[in-house]
Structure 1
């Protein structure tokens, strides 16, 4: 069953990639592949994930009873679920190869061992860079290295503060990639939902949002630096040099240049280029790793383990993401008449109010347990079109992506807070509200101001 699940995920990724490259005949297979994949996933996931599958089935029944064009709506929902599964599978290839790279682990260890004066800055910028390659794997890798390093500190007070500050640096560095990274679901989904939006137009605003997150996090960490009851002991020199980050930077440059050139030359959507380039780059990297028998396992064993163990091992996350995309896509047309019947018309609000609402909508819904993918896809249908608001599509994308990043910091139901909480041995709610409460308020205000400046002055 695991082998069948992994194989179906690979097939979905191949078919969706072919469709992105305008081989439309392949897309007819998508509904059948998605239904078979979800059926296999639903058997093996926890009940909390099965609840999402049940909700999708109920919503499908409601759509059949209410919507005259329910077939097209359901097909769009299946297409959304397929795209999310394909994008996820493509990104896991890079994470698979990176996890077996001694150079990547050495770079992470070097960042985690930095002295207190520059540890936060090193970890938060490093986490931002690692997130571009590893996605959530960046938090897992750096979080494990950080807690292992902190565990060597004999003073319990210093150890507790060190773990908290290191994990917050990693979390905030990760979410700072969400407003601009072409390898993140935030940009891939938001640009697909907002009419006229393109990643190339939105990336500049996202860069500034990322900078605001990084600088604001560092500033608050510096301002609220804990006062210790005893002075910290002297630390020895850090082993290694900043040159250990060179392989990571080379990979990022290679990936960025390849994706940009192909996107500009072919006109294929950036996500379609990413879904082709990332697996090919991962394959080339794996061949380099295996050259001369450097690894204890063969290329064949690696491929088999990836399809039959690693991909199926993400079944819970894949089910949640796929169902979030499906429920949001199918539920959107059902939500529109309900909102209109309640007399709610976002187009009647001032444009600045709508943009600020978009910044805060995803974080607020995240407190209620709503996944960002579900929140954005569900409410995209009631967001006024950019031309109605009188702003560029990239301004709307900037507002939603900013809110997506804030949700990754404070929502107790997102993978980022859950992972950080597990490393710190505290609850995700504690991480989101106690550790990050002040940061969320400051960051939300700064990003709201930036979104308005971009919409009305720059964008």
Structure 2
């Protein structure tokens, strides 16, 4: 499939998959739920097998660079695995992470498609591109906090799909729009409970709660948004970007989109309350609850009672068929998860101890080391999630002389920035696929300066926080 924008299956009706293909796709989240809720070991291996079958069946939708990356990661995994003392355990950890994210992609994709059919949503997304050129980047960055923060990857996908449909955007305008979305993702991944970033990071710190992390996360997220807007203004792209007729004001956007934003807020609140009330992992609640929410929304948009329920099921089947275009993302998650755990298990502990001793005593340097190490490891094809887990568990707060909150926040900062700058992440792959821009252009080249400044600025903020807590 061509990576040009005109080849995107956004407007055309997707080709329906066969029953067997749909069964393979649905089995991935179902088997993952068995592993999350019932701790069935065979369920994990079954989900991994189905993910492999899905990738093999849909490999024609994977670009050559993605295929080469996946092959390289598999080779590295195969070479290092026999050298580990517990190769089976390392492989299982990698597979569990891979199938978890693949399952989240399947479930949130259904929500994305369902909400995208709401006329008000489509009008709101289109209006984001009709804002005055000087404010367009900032508005899109803030909008990503709602769509991505409250709907997860489904919301990010919706914004990328909308940007891909703007045929009158120049190369510079398209780069600016997708940069706003990806950098907005780096900000929202610091605070949103809809991502595995938060739940996995909290699991590394006994007693840590999302509510206690939220103030620091929002502070750094606001810094990211301001930094990105400032860089965009300095680049001059905002002045060069043409307008599109009458510019949409912030008030008109809010008046047009408040029902959509309210509905998304209700959805995420229900997911969080269900997770806490049932004492279940938030990932499991989203995997199970998102398809139900999508079915109800599709039914609500249908006709009379009985036909609308049948029609909702048909729409979900069509949406699952369209999931085939994300075979590359699924393959990268699976391969990176396995390679990440294996590489992480092979890192000598003496190296980690030396790093901790070198930065101890300086909160700013310690926070910078935590975040920058995650970015550096991810740049070497290590999955950002695994990089964060390795660094967070190895360079602990006590070892670096940091309070728990700044250390946890530094892990989230490095994780979010690593995702948007490395060409091996799903966000970079999605941005390249929807925008038609080369993978390195939309990831490393577009975000290198932003990430460097964000690392330094966030380390300063978190270092000040650490000093204030220590007093």
Return the TM-score normalized by structure 1: 0.81
Counterpart Cα distance in 2 of 1:252 and 1:40: 30
Please provide the CA RMSD for this pair: 3.7
Check if 1:215 corresponds to 2:226: yes
User: Which residue is 2:109 aligned to?
Assistant: 92
Output one character per residue of 1:429-458: Cα deviation in whole Å (capped at 9) or x when no partner: 444565444433332221111222334435
Of 157, 160, 172, which aligns to 2:183?
Answer: 172
Query: Are the counterparts in 1 of residues 392 and 408 from structure 2 also a CA contact under 8 Å?
Result: no
User: Which residue is 2:315 aligned to?
Assistant: 302
Query: Are the counterparts in 1 of residues 144 and 181 from structure 2 also a CA contact under 8 Å?
Result: yes
Q: Report deviation, 1:278.
A: 2.4
User: Which residue is 1:31 aligned to?
Assistant: 45
Query: Are the counterparts in 1 of residues 129 and 136 from structure 2 also a CA contact under 8 Å?
Result: yes
User: Which residue is 2:14 aligned to?
Assistant: none
Q: Report deviation, 1:421.
A: 5.7
Range moving further from structure 2, 172-181 or 285-294: 285-294
Counterpart Cα distance in 2 of 1:213 and 1:7: 41
User: Which residue is 2:88 aligned to?
Assistant: 71
Of 411, 426, 432, which aligns to 1:400?
Answer: 411
Q: What count of residue pairs does the alignment treat as equivalent?
A: 441
Counterpart Cα distance in 2 of 1:287 and 1:227: 41
Output one character per residue of 1:14-67: Cα deviation in whole Å (capped at 9) or x when no partner: 24335544x34x454222331343245246435644763674476367434541
User: Which residue is 1:143 aligned to?
Assistant: 163
In structure 2, the CA distance between the partners of 1:225 and 1:275, relative to structure 1 (3 Å rule), is same
Q: Report deviation, 1:212.
A: 1.0
In structure 2, the CA distance between the partners of 1:31 and 1:347, relative to structure 1 (3 Å rule), is same
Counterpart Cα distance in 1 of 2:138 and 2:294: 29
Q: Which runs of 5 or more residues in structure 1 are unaligned?
A: 152-158
Output one character per residue of 1:336-373: Cα deviation in whole Å (capped at 9) or x when no partner: xx353x58533323343342112112333444444423
User: Which residue is 2:6 aligned to?
Assistant: none
Check if 1:362 corresponds to 2:378: no
Counterpart Cα distance in 2 of 1:437 and 1:50: 23
Counterpart Cα distance in 1 of 2:436 and 2:442: 10
Counterpart Cα distance in 1 of 2:51 and 2:292: 24
Q: Which runs of 5 or more residues in structure 2 are unaligned?
A: 1-16
Query: Are the counterparts in 2 of residues 172 and 217 from structure 1 also a CA contact under 8 Å?
Result: yes
Check if 1:452 corresponds to 2:470: no
Counterpart Cα distance in 1 of 2:113 and 2:401: 44
Counterpart Cα distance in 2 of 1:424 and 1:282: 26
Secondary structure of the 1:349 match is helix
Counterpart Cα distance in 1 of 2:344 and 2:141: 36
Query: Are the counterparts in 1 of residues 356 and 395 from structure 2 also a CA contact under 8 Å?
Result: yes
Of 30, 42, 45, which aligns to 1:14?
Answer: 30
Counterpart Cα distance in 2 of 1:280 and 1:447: 38
User: Which residue is 1:236 aligned to?
Assistant: 246
Q: Report deviation, 1:137.
A: 0.5
User: Which residue is 1:156 aligned to?
Assistant: none
User: Which residue is 1:332 aligned to?
Assistant: 344
Query: Are the counterparts in 2 of residues 131 and 174 from structure 1 also a CA contact under 8 Å?
Result: yes
In structure 2, the CA distance between the partners of 1:38 and 1:180, relative to structure 1 (3 Å rule), is same
Query: Are the counterparts in 1 of residues 271 and 286 from structure 2 also a CA contact under 8 Å?
Result: yes
Counterpart Cα distance in 1 of 2:238 and 2:92: 57
Counterpart Cα distance in 1 of 2:432 and 2:323: 24
Output one character per residue of 1:257-279: Cα deviation in whole Å (capped at 9) or x when no partner: 21232233233233333333323
Query: Are the counterparts in 1 of residues 197 and 415 from structure 2 also a CA contact under 8 Å?
Result: yes
Check if 1:52 corresponds to 2:65: no
In structure 2, the CA distance between the partners of 1:301 and 1:333, relative to structure 1 (3 Å rule), is same
Counterpart Cα distance in 2 of 1:418 and 1:39: 21
